Structures are given as C-alpha cells and as structure tokens.
Amino acid sequence: MLRLSELKLPLDHEETDLAPAICKRLKIDPAELQSHRVVKESVDARRKSAIQIAYSLELQLPPELERQLLKRFKRDPHLQPASETRYQLVAQASPDTPAPLRPVVVGAGPCGYFCALILAEMGLKPLLLERGKPVKERTADTFGFWKGTLTFNPESNAQFGEGGAGTFSDGKLYSQVRDPKHLGRKVLEELVAAGANPEILVKHHPHIGTFKLATVVRGLRSKITALGGEIQFESRVSKLCFEQVHGTRRLSGVELASGESIPARQVVLAVGHSARDTFAMLHEQGVSLERKAFSVGFRIEHPQPLIDAARWGDCAGHPRLGAAEYKLVKHVSNGRCVYSFCMCPGGLVVGATSEVGRVVTNGMSQHSRNERNANSGIVVNVETEDVESYGAYPGDPLAGIAFQRHWEAKAFELGGSTYAAPGQRLGDFLAPTAEPPAELGVVKPSYSPGVVPADLGQALPAFVIEALREALPQFNQSIPGYAMDDALLTGVETRTSSPVRIPRTKALESVNTPGLYPAGEGAGFAGGILSAAMDGIRVAEALGLTLLRQERPGAPGESACDPA
C-alpha cells in the first residue's frame, strides 16, 4: 500500500474526481487503481482566488506496480510506502494472572478518561474518581448558570465534571506533539467509536463541538465500565493517604471529601488546570510542585463574515470551507508575546469560573460553528517571576494561582459583582479616556450571564495591557478589519494553562511521591483535549507495565491516611 500526499483539487470538485486525479498524478491506468482511502484533508488557501483541497490518500495497487512507482518517484517525498498508524497496546493481563490492587485515576477529563480506558484494556479494572457530576447533569448546571436560572455551583460548572474543561469549548482535536506510537490516532478512533463524526479522522484541524462532546464522553464511560472499570462521580479527593514501610513513606490510598478512604498503591492525578484546592492539598502534604508560565488576556469578538472574508476572499461562505479560523502572534516592545488562543469560529464566549466571586471567560463552539461572532482569546505570556509578589512567601509554587484569583476577582467587581463580565469596544480600549464609554458597539456580546461596559485597562496588570494595546492594531496586517473600533473585548481569560507543574520522573511518577502519577493539563504536561488524552495513555502504559510486572501486593497498612 502506498501513501500519496499533496494531491490538490479545486474547491468545487466532486468525490468521484479523486480516482481520476490519482491516476493522472501517477500516470497509471485507472484499472490498476484497486482502491483508495482519504487519510487527511486540508484547505490550501494561500491563493484566495484559487482555493484548493489537499488530500493525503492510501492507495491499493498491484505489488509490482507499487514497486515500479516507488522507483519512478524515488525523489518525490509525496509518494511513500504507507506506514502503520494503528496503536498497539503495550501489555495485557492474562485471565489467570492474580489481579493487583486496582489503580485509581483522579479526574474524568480527556486525560483521566483515556488513562482509565487503557488501564481497562490492559485488564487492570481502574477506579476513576470525578469531583463533578455526570455530563448530562453537569450540562444542566452549567447552562442554567449561564442563563441565570440556576445559582453557580463550584463543583459542577465549565471546569469541573465529566469530560473536563474541554467539554465546553470548540472541541479542537489537533496537537503539535510528536506521536511515533500513534496515540493521537488511538484517541480519534475511540472518539469516533463513542459517537464523534468520522470526519475527525481525516480533517487537518478536526473539532467536535460541545453538544457532540457530551455524547462522546458518555460513550467512553460505557466502554470503560464494560471492560471492568468503575467511575464514581461527586467524589472529590481531599487527601492522599500514606503508610510507613521500613521508615519510608509510601502511598496507600486517597481520602474523599465525604470521609471515605480508598486503598491504592498507584494514583493517577489527572486533574485539570483549575483544581486549585487539589494543588493546595498536594503542597500541604509535601508533594513536589513548581511554578509554570501561563498566559492571560481577554476574549475578542468579531462578526464571523469579517474573518471569513479575510481568510477565504471571494470564496467566503462556500459550504466546503465553513467558518474560518485564524492564528495570530506578535512579539511586542516590552518583551512580551501576544497571541490568539483557543479561537472559536462561529462560537460563543462563555462563563468558565470554578470559584465563587470570580469571572473567567472561555470560548465555545458547536459542531456547526454557525453563531454570528468569531471569538478568540488574545493573551499575553506571564512568566514565573511575574507572580512572585502574589505568593504567600518567597518562592511559593502556588503564586500563579493567587495571581489568577486576584484578577478574576477584579473582573467580577468590574462586571458588577453578579457574574456579568466587564466588556469594552476595542476602539475605546486602544484610546482610553477619563470616563470610559457606557455603551458597547455593533458587535453584540455572546457571553452569558451578560456583559457590563467597563474600563478593561484596570482588569489586568499593566504589562499585559501595554502589550495588548501595542499588538491588537498590528493584527490588522494579517486580518484586514481586525482592529475595527466595534470589535468587543470581554474579560478576563486566565485559564489558558495550569500555573503549576507537578514534576515527574522518567517513569512518569512524582519526583518525591512514588506511586503518584501526575498527568495531563493540570499537572503541566499537556495543553488541549488531544495532548491531554495522549498523556493519559502514556501514563497508563507506564503504570500498567509496572503493575503487570509485580506480584499481587498485600493490603495497605493500617496508617493509610496519615497525611505526614
């Protein structure tokens, strides 16, 4: 089988045009092409007057012809032998192997779910603990808060609950992480099996969308439980449990906020970037933590047709193209980097706080991406030294969390202390006056529970505001009209990534707490749905191989919940 890449066809081609195009490219008789399969599809919009669709395909041809073509095209990197793309499970328990004490996975986001899935496929019957609710109940709580019909629930919201923070997002499924073991393909195939659109297997920048993600996570849950795993909701881990063995502290389980103790020798910590109370607990119990850089900024909204026209030109609106995305970056004079983050075509700005008395924004799209506005985070890097003054003491690893909380509380105050968000026209933000205008412009805010006109120059630290005011007008060079006066800024975007990292060894365990496996975005090792899921698989492999090499351990010691 051969892999042919960079086969380009006009925007208005039909599916039946593919086979003739393959034969023309390779100069072969159509009868010799036994079959073809699209493995990747992307848009080439470098010439807006002639946008094309680029394909990578797997071709089935007679063996002798394959050899001839490889020889004839030996200098062409776009024709190569097809490579294996299937994920291979690293090990599996045999039916007669004594079962080890089941591993515990904390957090039912993409990292936790894929970690639990691989452990279940290995025959290790994991227990997955999630502090929030199942996705159906969580969705009702979250949408109820946005609509103002329910009060905010700090345990069931856009950050906490089945599916993790990515459930209420655009559902992007691409990553720049190297993937020689095809972990990403495993993730996509499992998502399709759980109900995602099969197009995610071939699209260059695939996404699912919020409502479809809710269906998919239920499918993943069903598969894990069918393989012998168990999932327990509304079960927040409040303490790690330890025992002393020959003078050495050893992990022996976890304790829940309910008081229940669960024995475990191996615990995967797959919490998200907003599990601030968990980070505080780990720090108090002596688990090694360190600060990590992150970014903060605002959400910006434009009419989606403006972005479509800039990206697609006269082809804007073509059904094959859909709503256009963008990616922007600018290095500015104060040394900061300003860039777009989690761009949501045809989406909504949503309330993403996880704590009472704070305002946080994020972006969300449905699969159709057919809302009137495009939105994106426009954020500025925050380095570890920038948060020093917010810490409880010099070198405090939780100082980044304190920084985030400070500015989220400020946004809550600027929005009127009702969970409304502060917003401002871009023109007014770029040319501030003594009295900020009390009105917004023609771009209607999509954020729920609502937007209150405010001076966003007060909403973030001076170095962030300075960087944004320099970079935003310059983005007009990439997207004409981007700096339109009526573009809407909404604050604040603070949860771009975890402000802490839980360092781990080459075996993927905590550097000072054997048996604890930090994983995913909250631990500082991923950024987005796909990379978090892939990290969950890596950790499951490492943990599972360790368990399958061991004899069945005995029960934990009596001092299981000694926090020392």
Tell me how far apart the alpha carbons of residues 276 and 45 are, in angstroms, rounded to a whole number: 42
Tokens of 263: 């024995």
Q: What is the pLDDT of residue 561?
A: 60
The DSSP result for 215-228, as a single string, is HHHHHHHHHHHHTT
Mean pLDDT, residues 451-455 taken together:
97
Tell me how far apart the alpha carbons of residues 257 and 109 are, in angstroms, rounded to a whole number: 20
Confirm if 499 and 403 have CB atoms less than 8 A apart: yes
Strands (E), 261-345: 261-263, 267-269, 290-291, 294-303, 329-331, 337-344
Mean pLDDT, residues 232-255 taken together:
94
The secondary structure of 331-361, three-state, reads ECCCCCEEEEEEEECCCEEEECCCCCCCCCE
Tell me how far apart the alpha carbons of residues 277 and 238 are, in angstroms, rounded to a whole number: 8
Q: What is the pLDDT of residue 174?
A: 83
104-290+505-549: which CATH topology?
FAD/NAD(P)-binding domain (3.50.50)
The secondary structure of 462-530, three-state, reads HHHHHHHHHHHHHHHHCCCCCCCCCCEEEEEECCCCCCEECCECCCCCECCCCCEEECCCCCCCCCCHH
Tell me how far apart the alpha carbons of residues 509 and 266 are, in angstroms, rounded to a whole number: 9
Tell me how far apart the alpha carbons of residues 539 and 183 are, in angstroms, rounded to a whole number: 12
Q: How many helices (H) and strands (E) does the chain have?
A: 12, 23
Q: What is the pLDDT of residue 536?
A: 98
Write down the H helix ranges in 158-231. Answer: 183-193, 210-226
Phi and psi, residue 249, nearest 5°: -75, 130
Same fold flag, 2-74 and 104-290+505-549:
no
Could you say which DSSP state residue 530 is in?
Answer: H
Ordered by start, the domain boundaries in the chain are: 2-74, 104-290+505-549, 293-493
Average pLDDT, the chain: 94
For residue 405, what is the enclosing H or E element?
A: helix 399-414
Confirm if 523 and 269 have CB atoms less than 8 A apart: yes
* 151-194 confidence digits (pLDDT tens): 999 999 999 999 999 888 878 888 878 888 999 999 999 999 99
* 426-440 confidence digits (pLDDT tens): 999 999 988 888 899
2-74: which CATH topology?
Alpha-Beta Plaits (3.30.70)
* 46-88 confidence digits (pLDDT tens): 998 899 999 999 999 999 999 999 999 999 999 999 988 899 9
Mean pLDDT, residues 231-251 taken together:
93
Number of C-beta neighbours around residue 264 at 10 A: 26
- The verdict on whether omega for the bond into residue 492 sits within 30 degrees of 0, i.e. cis, is yes
Task: Tell me which residue of 520, 467, 479 sits closest to 498, measured CA to CA.
Answer: 520
CA atoms within 13 A on the CB side of 209: 17
* 35-48 confidence digits (pLDDT tens): 999 999 999 999 98
Tell me how far CA of residue 171 lies from CA of 167, 200, 301, 322, in angstroms.
Answer: 7, 11, 19, 16
Least trusted range by pLDDT, from 193-202, 259-268, 391-400, 434-443: 434-443
Does residue 559 carry a pLDDT above 80? no
Task: Tell me which residue of 450, 406, 458 sits closest to 432, measured CA to CA.
Answer: 458
Residue whose structure tokens are 């070198």: 395
Does residue 253 carry a pLDDT above 70? yes
Mean pLDDT, residues 489-516 taken together:
97
Strand partners, 299: 377, 490
Does residue 534 carry a pLDDT above 70? yes
Confirm if 447 and 361 have CB atoms less than 8 A apart: yes
Confirm if 251 and 514 have CB atoms less than 8 A apart: yes
- Considering the entire predicted model, what is its pTM? 0.94
**Burial, 85: exposed, middle or buried (Cβ in 10 Å; 0-12, 13-18, 19+)?**
middle
Strand partners, 101: none
Tokens of 349: 């700005």
Length of the chain: 564
* 209-220 confidence digits (pLDDT tens): 777 888 899 999
Confirm if 121 and 113 have CB atoms less than 8 A apart: no
